[in-house]
Structure 1
Amino acid sequence: MTRVVILAGGVGGAKFTLGVRAALARGGDPEATVVVNTGDDLWLSGVRLQPDIDSVLYALAGQNDTQRGWGRAGDTERVNAELQAWGAGWPWFTLGDLDLGTHLARTGWLREGLSVTEVVARLSRRWPIGVRMLPMTDSEVDTHVLLARGDRMHFQEWWTRHRAALAPVAFENPGVQDAVPAPGVLEAIAEADVVLLAPSNPVVSIGPILAVPGVRDALRRAPRVVGVAGIIGGTVVRGMADVCLSAIGVDTRSDAVAAHYGARTAGGLLDAWVMAEEDAALAPAVQACGIHPVVAPLWMTDAATTEAVAQAALQA
């Protein structure tokens, strides 16, 4: 049996996980676990939202809105309009009606005393998703953005309302130093044949997972860790990851992100780095860091190309 663990967040992580599932389904008796970022989580209008958990769940279930890139396919927004009419919630943060059903179910279960891990397991049972989903932690460690002007705000307000236009100086997850990995996370990593870092935002999607005490150490003990670049030709594929990288002093280049994760032989995390054909000239710089570069097509434009990206990572 081939055991694979994926660390993921956001739309890129959801698409990549789909590709890994498809690639693994072609041979052997695979077992895949995806550990999902929960730093994007928030409370809004009395309900608990977990955007990255839902993005991965909906994608694996074939229920995601591929046009918008988030939420449920065919969703409506009647309840969201009513909330705004009452002056509730955030007028710039849209909640679909079907999506709200998920949030209400989640919130009810949490208030009944279930852990986040138990809630994710319940949500996962509705559809045959073919992958075990785990949150990175059961603790609430929502990401906050520290701004250059001196104040801070929840990551979702900075990302969705301001479109990352307010200059950040740091990203924090209050309470993460006291958090523990969700049940099953460390065990899955320990039993994995390979751990894959999805082409998700290195700072606010993968970063919070790595910040949970114990996760980095577990990765350093894993047989092999392979990262996949979310930057192609010096440009982020989706979102505003370049702004996040600049805030922590990392250039928006594939080799720079590989160096940010670091080589396991030098106290970092990576054994190999899958990078785009457009960045082939940067492969020697990655090699110089002590990380094995693998150059491959990285545009996940459809199911076939997404599976090919995942296959490149699995073979790295």
Structure 2
Amino acid sequence: MKIVALAGGVGASKLLDGLRYAMDPRDLSIVVNTGDDIEMFGLYISPDIDIVTYTLAGEVNPAMGWGIKDDTFHCLEYLLRYTGGERWFNLGDRDLATHIFRTSLLRSGRKLSESADLIRRTLNVESRIIPMTDSHTPTTIITDEGDLHFQEYLVRRRAQPKVLGIRFENIESAYPAPGVAESILDADAVIICPSNPLISTGPILAVPGIRDLLKETRARVIGISPVVGGASLKGPTDKMMADLGMEVSAAQVAKSLSDFLDIYIIDYQDEFDATEIESLGIKVVVADTVMSNAEKKLALAQTTLKALA
């Protein structure tokens, strides 16, 4: 079974980590959010692509869910001696090697999708990793403190400012990266990973053409709720939804995907949402969606594949 997953960073990578053991990873293609991408110290950084790549390479820092395990920070510390800047975005020494290599490829004329494929192959990742677009479409968070790049909002300001709106820069002129359309149309199933629906899967679905592809594909589309018991397990999903006046619930997320979603997996804690979701014509599967260890990651991956069988 050929599967395409739409993914953000940490939350999605947990499910993807389970899927690489639950299925043949060569049959999995992952379309990754690039709205988080940012340039720092002259280097092009793709946080979600790197999280997914490091996870599937078995090299991610397990304590953080991002970065490389056992990495050191000598280069960053020395850089900050020169710049005198604030240390708000950690870049490890090995991680910096990835960013240097990617940036050199981009400056030589290679596309982001080409760099992602070369990096994942070098790290022996068997699944295909595709950025949602080769265009630069940074996510801007409109807040009561002004407009902030998503990384500044999340990392530097720790998601404290009130969110008034979200803007995906340059998105109207973006195109799906090479391989995105073909993968979705050829897939037997599409998985919407349990990522922030506003700033992880949201940017992917905002790329012109991708939402239409999900409506057109013969594949069954299954999603896993990123909301459990009225809250997000990781990141600012719940706060951002509340700031924007949205109900923080599995049902609310399902509604935002209802034009193409066939199946939705929700946690036992949200079983009361099942009737409302089913009224949208979506089949509901109730399971343990809290991936707190390797066994639970694998179990949710197996549940997802079983629901698609």
Fold shared, TM-score > 0.5 on shorter chain: yes
Cα distance between partner residues in 2 of 1:130 and 1:306: 19
Deviation at 1:250, TM superposition (A): 2.3
Paired position in structure 2 for 1:174: 169
1:159 aligns with 2:154: yes
Cα distance between partner residues in 2 of 1:315 and 1:180: 33
1:87 aligns with 2:83: yes
1:275 aligns with 2:249: no
Cα distance between partner residues in 2 of 1:30 and 1:54: 19
User: In structure 1, the residue corresponding to 2:255 is in which secondary structure?
Assistant: helix
Deviation at 1:40, TM superposition (A): 0.3
User: In structure 2, the residue corresponding to 1:169 is in which secondary structure?
Assistant: strand
Q: Percent identity?
A: 39
Q: How many matched pairs?
A: 306
Among 198, 203, 219, the residue aligned to 1:203 = 198
1:194 aligns with 2:189: yes
Deviation at 1:62, TM superposition (A): 0.4
1:62 aligns with 2:58: yes
User: In structure 1, the residue corresponding to 2:275 is in which secondary structure?
Assistant: helix
Aligned AA (1:122) = L
User: In structure 1, the residue corresponding to 2:239 is in which secondary structure?
Assistant: helix
Distance 1:41 1:289, change over 3 A: same
Paired position in structure 1 for 2:304: 313
Cα distance between partner residues in 1 of 2:86 and 2:138: 17
Deviation at 1:90, TM superposition (A): 4.7
Paired position in structure 1 for 2:289: 298
Paired position in structure 2 for 1:7: 6
TM-score (norm 2): 0.96
Task: Write out per-residue CA displacement over residues 84-143 of structure 1, whole angstroms, 9 at most, x where no aligned residue.
Answer: 111266521111111101000000111011000110011011122221110000000011
Paired position in structure 2 for 1:73: 69
Cα distance between partner residues in 1 of 2:70 and 2:158: 25
Paired position in structure 2 for 1:46: 42
Give every structure 1 segment of 4 or more consecutive aligned residues whose post-TM-superposition deviation is greater than 6 Å.
none
What value does the CA root-mean-square deviation take over the aligned residues? 1.4
Task: Write out per-residue CA displacement over residues 181-234 of structure 1, whole angstroms, 9 at most, x where no aligned residue.
Answer: 000000000001110000011110000000000000000112211110111111
User: In structure 1, the residue corresponding to 2:83 is in which secondary structure?
Assistant: coil
CA contact (8 A) 2:142 2:167 kept: yes
User: In structure 1, the residue corresponding to 2:164 is in which secondary structure?
Assistant: strand
Deviation at 1:70, TM superposition (A): 1.2
Structure 2: where are the runs of 5+ without partners?
none
TM-score (norm 1): 0.94
Cα distance between partner residues in 2 of 1:118 and 1:130: 15
User: In structure 2, the residue corresponding to 1:125 is in which secondary structure?
Assistant: helix
